[in-house]
Amino acid sequence: MLIKKPAEIKASEITDKSVYLQRRRFLGRASLLGIGLSASLPGRVLGQNRQALQFNKNQAYSTGEALTERGKITAYNNYYEFGTDKYSPAKRAHTLTTHPWSVTIEGEADKTGVFNLEDILKNRPLEERIYRLRCVEGWSMVIPWVGFPLGDLLREFAPNSKARFVEFTTLARASEMPGLSRPVLDWPYVEGLRIDEAMHPLTLLAVGLYGETLPNQNGAPLRLVAPWKYGFKSIKSIVKIRFTDQQPVSSWTRANAREYGFYSNVNPDVAHPRWSQKRERRIGDFLKRKTLMFNGYADQVASLYRGMDLKKYF
């Protein structure tokens, strides 16, 4: 049942953090009461306009740290398909058509094919998870994502025993992505995870942030979020997921293997060849803070790397 109150419609138009927090509290109560706030999901996930999403808050997987303002999360981005400048994606990504959208599932799995995003999202419950995101360049944010565990989706395709890795590919549509005219990276943007990293319960596929569909500059309509890894692993606007027995070569490794390894786990003890990773600036803060091992998710993910030399496998 859809019950819309004027106050609630207003809140979705406002980007201020305190208002959002109030609204989140309201959403929490509303979902307890079983009141739906948005009609006909998943159709509404797909439009380019901001649409309210229906979700449950996953507190167990959320940090209690102060959120980065929505306006900062959506204005300061890395999305090289729209230019290498941090402010270009917000200015230019509106040209991206995110509907219709399909995702090709390929490789070492019983079920493969091309699937409409609508079908992927049908009857799939969404969660809000507040995660830290740490860019390899030394800044970080705290982002309230809305999405679902990647592993839940992957299992539906029944990957076989050869599926040791998962490779992800971003859309490469030159007519809508002005950055593709420059060979800064080898397009399309490709990233990869080991299968156990992909299946880890922290690994999210996001369709929204701050309670609404993803802005294009943040990777609409579907992007990866692996919060213990440097931001570039969290690939945007995904069109292909491939199960493979070979370790994928990511666009960043292809561009500069010495600087960007396959794992790219946040690690204050392994410096980037051109700068230290010991500290980071939380966007909005004046002073820097210490970078934490695995971006603060060591309790959950350190066991994935037991026995590995993380200086070698950086």
Ligand X SMILES: Nc1nc2c(c(=O)[nH]1)N[C@H]1C(S)=C(S)[C@@H](COP(=O)(O)O)O[C@H]1N2
Stretch that binds Mo ion, among 132-140, 144-152, 215-223, 282-290 (CB under 5 A): 132-140
Answer yes or no whether residue 227 interacts with Mo ion by CB under 5 A. Answer: no
Amino acid (1-letter code) at residue 282: R
State whether residue 242 is helix, strand or coil. Answer: strand
At closest approach, how far in Å is the CB of 34 from ligand X? 32
Could you tell which of ligand X, Mo ion, none binds residue 234, using a CB distance below 5 to 8 A set by kind? Answer: ligand X
| E strand map for 11-77 | 56-57
C-alpha to C-alpha distance for 78 and 304, rounded to whole angstroms: 27
Cβ atoms of residues 55 and 127 within 8 Å: yes
By CB under 5 A, tell whether 265 contacts Mo ion. no
Q: Which does 214 bind (CB under 5 to 8 A by kind): Mo ion, ligand X, none?
A: none
Distance CA 205, CA 166 (A): 13
Is 291 among the residues that bind Mo ion (CB under 5 A)?
no
Residue closer to Mo ion (CB basis): 142 or 195 = 142
| Strand 102-107 relative to strand 279-282, pairing | unpaired
Binding site partner of 218, from ligand X, Mo ion, none, Cβ cut-off 5-8 A by kind: ligand X
Residues forming beta bridges with residue 148, ordered by sequence position? 205
Report the chain's terminal Cα–Cα distance, integer Å.
49
Q: Which does 79 bind (CB under 5 to 8 A by kind): Mo ion, ligand X, none?
A: ligand X
| C-beta of 51 vs 237, nearer to ligand X | 237
CB count in 10 Å sphere of residue 308: 11
- Site for ligand X, rule CB under 6 A: 77-81, 133, 135, 170, 189, 218-219, 231-232, 234-237
Residue whose token pair is 């931001």: 231
Number of residues that bind Mo ion (CB under 5 A): 5
The verdict on 231 binding Mo ion (CB under 5 A) reads: yes
* Cα distances (angstroms) measured from residue 217 to each of 34, 131, 308: 32, 18, 35
Q: How would you write 112-147 as a 3-class SS string?
A: CEEEEHHHHHCCCCCEEEEEEEECCCCEEEEEEEEE
C-beta of 86: minimal distance to ligand X in Å? 8
Instruction: Name which of residues 15 to 74 contact Mo ion (CB under 5 A).
Output: none
Nearer to ligand X, 78 or 265 (CB): 78
Q: CB-wise, 77 or 98, nearer to Mo ion?
A: 77
Integer Cα distance of 17 and 14 in angstroms: 9
CA atoms within 13 A on the CB side of 46: 17
Selection from ligand X, Mo ion, none that 147 binds (CB < 5 to 8 A by kind) is none
Residue number, nearest CB to ligand X: 231
Please identify which residue in the block is written with the tokens 């167990």: 60
Q: Does 232 bind Mo ion (CB under 5 A)?
A: yes
Among 38, 54, 68, 78, binds Mo ion (CB under 5 A): 78
Is residue 135 close enough to count as binding Mo ion by CB under 5 A?
yes
252 sits near Mo ion (criterion: CB under 5 A): no
Binding site for Mo ion (CB under 5 A): 78, 135-136, 231-232
